[in-house]
């Protein structure tokens, strides 16, 4: 028997644009501001961030650093641990640039890779990995620290060593899916849990005397780009966001999904599309980078999402705070596209804060 569900017809109704409660339809700065004032709290709730906070009890998140750092040219590297929730410890690397500061902060969630925090600081287990890191600009924490930023490379929940493993291979052997399903059963989302971790690390970094809270960058590739976008949407402390190889529609016009299951936020398409999430970053700065030869995302869908996102930045009356760039390659970082935008945007963020218009 043929399939008795007509996927195209059904998904068109399932993802009906008119049912998106917080889709941004603003055409003026005032309307945009009114929209973001209600859309952001609703997104935080949908991500489960309110639930996490309410269920913490007496627990207060905290951070420990190893007693000693390792010295590298231009920075020192510390091993750290975020005690994020009862029973949830999140390891991270902290790269502290030489010099007194105050330093801008870079928070750099990684994508689909076990022990991905090592990649971001340039630790490779073999020569092939070392070449890949070099060729694909993947040591972003080192790049940030050498630009004078206090760089945090955390573990992204769902990957070793911070996951609920798929021990019985019921979930395709993918630990990120296993983690996400466990979270969803309790009304949470892996994406929200990841954002929670990043926000708690920012709490800690901002409280350090050597940091400048007006200059915070969030940047990540792939799954790390998804965390970057949701984090910057939720947390107005982030001044500049650079999601790499992750921005696209959540569902294509044909009803196809592009992202890994672990990025799925239950109910999100009744809230809005991914451009509405990213739109919450305005009036702050956002650079979206995609690989022109990234097989995960159809370029027509990327372009469609970019047009919608540009419309939101125009409504916020900061069209020049948003840029989209294609790198001439695959699913990777493009440092030559990213850093000029970041440095320019951070200098503006600093000026805006000193003028009291942040
Ligand atoms: Zn995943």
- Is residue 249 within 8 A of residue 280, CB to CB? The reply is no
Question: How many angstroms does the Cα of residue 39 sit away from the middle of ligand 1?
Answer: 26
Cα 261 to ligand 1 centre (Å): 6
For the segment 297-316, the average pLDDT, to the nearest whole number, is 98
Residue 349 Cα to ligand 1 middle (Å): 33
How far apart are the C-alpha atoms of 285 and 89, rounded to whole Å?
Answer: 31
**Residue 128 CB burial class (10 angstroms; 0-12, 13-18, ≥19):** exposed
pLDDT above 50: residue 313: yes
* Mean pLDDT of all residues in 142-157: 98
Residues of the chain with pLDDT > 70, as a percent, come to: 97
Does the bond joining 283 to the residue before it have cis omega, within 30 degrees of 0? yes
Least confident of 79-83, 97-101, 142-146: 97-101
pLDDT, the chain, mean: 96
Q: How much distance in Å is there from the Cα of 150 to the middle of ligand 1? A: 28
Tell me how far the alpha carbon of residue 296 lies from the centroid of ligand 1, in angstroms. 13
Strand-pair partners of 42: none
Output the CA 264–ligand 1 centroid distance in Å.
9
pLDDT confidence band for 350 (50 / 70 / 90)? low
Find the 112 Cα to ligand 1 centroid distance in Å: 6
Rounded to the nearest angstrom, the distance between the alpha carbon of 177 and the centre of ligand 1 is 6
Measure 322 CA to ligand 1 centroid, in angstroms. Answer: 27
Measured distance CA(136)–CA(332) in Å, rounded: 6
Domain boundaries, the chain: 31-348
Distance 180 CA to ligand 1 centre (A): 8
The rounded Å distance from CA 59 to ligand 1 centre is: 28
Q: What value does the mean pLDDT take over residues 319-335? A: 97
Distance from the CA of 156 to the center of ligand 1, in angstroms? 10
Quote the CA–CA distance of 311 and 313 in Å, as a whole number.
6
Nearest to 277 by CA among 247, 298, 320, 251: 247
Per-residue confidence (pLDDT) for residue 349, from 0 to 100: 79
Counting every residue written for the chain, the total comes to 358
- The pLDDT, as a whole number, for residue 181 is 97
pLDDT of residue 358: 40
C-alpha to C-alpha distance for 195 and 235, rounded to whole angstroms: 9
Bridge partners of residue 96, in order along the sequence: 76
pLDDT in tens, 174-220: 999 999 999 999 999 999 999 999 999 999 999 999 999 999 999 99
The Å distance, Cα 317 to ligand 1 centre, comes to: 35
Residue 265: which pLDDT band, with cuts at 50, 70 and 90?
very high
Rounded mean pLDDT, 29-48: 98
Distance 104 CA to ligand 1 centre (A): 30
Q: What is the CA radius of gyration of the chain?
A: 20
Q: Report CA(175)–ligand 1 centroid distance (Å).
A: 8
* Cis geometry, peptide bond prior to residue 161 (ω within 30 degrees of 0): yes
Residue pLDDT, tens place only, 49-67: 999 999 999 999 999 999 9
Report the separation in Å between the CA atom of 94 and the middle of ligand 1, taken as the mean of its atom positions.
24
Give distance in angstroms: CA of 223 to centre of ligand 1. 7
C-alpha 260 to ligand 1 mean position (Å): 5
Q: How many angstroms separate the CA atoms of 280 and 238, rounded?
A: 11
Q: Would you state the structure tokens that stand for residue 355, as one six-digit string?
A: 């003028």
How far does residue 252's CA lie from ligand 1's centre (Å)? Answer: 19
CA of 113 to the centre of ligand 1 (A): 9
The confidence band for 254, taking pLDDT boundaries of 50, 70 and 90, is: confident
The CATH number of the domain covering residues in 31-348: 3.40.50.1820
pLDDT at 354 (0 to 100): 54
Rounded to the nearest whole angstrom, what is the distance from the C-alpha of residue 190 to the centroid of ligand 1?
Answer: 9
Rounded CA-CA distance 4/152 in Å is: 50
| Helices 190-207 & 175-185 angle (0-180, nearest 10) | 90
* Higher pLDDT pick, 356 / 220: 220
- What are the tens digits of pLDDT across the range 87-128? 999 999 999 999 998 999 999 999 999 999 999 999 999 999
- Of the candidates 220, 270, 280, which has an alpha carbon nearest to the alpha carbon of residue 250? 270
Supply 358's token pair.
């942040």
Provide the pLDDT for residue 226.
98
CA of 88 to the centre of ligand 1 (A): 19
């Amino acid at each position: 028997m043929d399939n008795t569900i007509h996927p195209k017809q059904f998904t068109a109704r399932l993802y009906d644009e008119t049912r998106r409660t917080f889709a941004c339809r603003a055409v003026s700065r005032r309307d945009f501001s009114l929209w973001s004032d209600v859309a952001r709290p609703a997104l935080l709730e949908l991500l489960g961030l309110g639930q996490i906070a309410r269920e913490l009890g007496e627990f207060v998140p905290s951070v420990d650093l190893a007693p000693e750092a390792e010295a590298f040219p231009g920075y020192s590297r510390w091993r750290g641990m975020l005690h994020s929730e009862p029973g949830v410890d999140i390891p991270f690397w902290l790269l502290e640039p030489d010099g007194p500061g105050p330093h801008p902060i870079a928070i750099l969630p990684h994508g689909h890779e076990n022990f991905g925090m090592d990649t971001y600081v340039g630790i490779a287990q073999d020569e092939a990995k070392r070449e890949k890191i070099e060729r694909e600009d993947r040591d972003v924490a080192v790049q940030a620290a050498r630009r004078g930023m206090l760089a945090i490379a955390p573990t992204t929940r769902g990957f070793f060593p911070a996951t609920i493993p798929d021990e019985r291979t019921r979930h395709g052997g993918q630990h990120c899916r296993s983690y996400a399903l466990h979270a969803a059963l309790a009304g949470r989302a892996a994406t929200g849990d990841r954002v929670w971790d990043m926000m708690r690390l920012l709490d800690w970094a901002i409280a350090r005397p050597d940091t400048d809270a007006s200059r915070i960058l969030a940047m990540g590739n792939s799954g790390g780009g998804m965390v970057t976008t949701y984090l910057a949407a939720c947390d107005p402390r982030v001044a500049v966001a650079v999601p790499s190889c992750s921005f696209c529609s959540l569902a294509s016009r044909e009803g196809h999904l592009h992202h890994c299951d672990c990025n799925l936020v239950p109910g999100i398409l009744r809230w809005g599309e991914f451009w509405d999430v990213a739109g919450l970053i305005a009036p702050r700065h956002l650079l979206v980078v995609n690989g022109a030869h990234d097989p995960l995302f159809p370029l027509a869908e990327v372009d469609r999402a970019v047009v919608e996102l540009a419309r939101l930045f125009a409504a916020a009356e900061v069209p020049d705070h948003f840029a989209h760039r294609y790198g001439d390659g695959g699913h990777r970082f493009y440092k030559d596209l990213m850093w000029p935008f970041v440095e320019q945007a951070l200098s503006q963020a600093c000026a805006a804060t000193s003028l009291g218009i942040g």
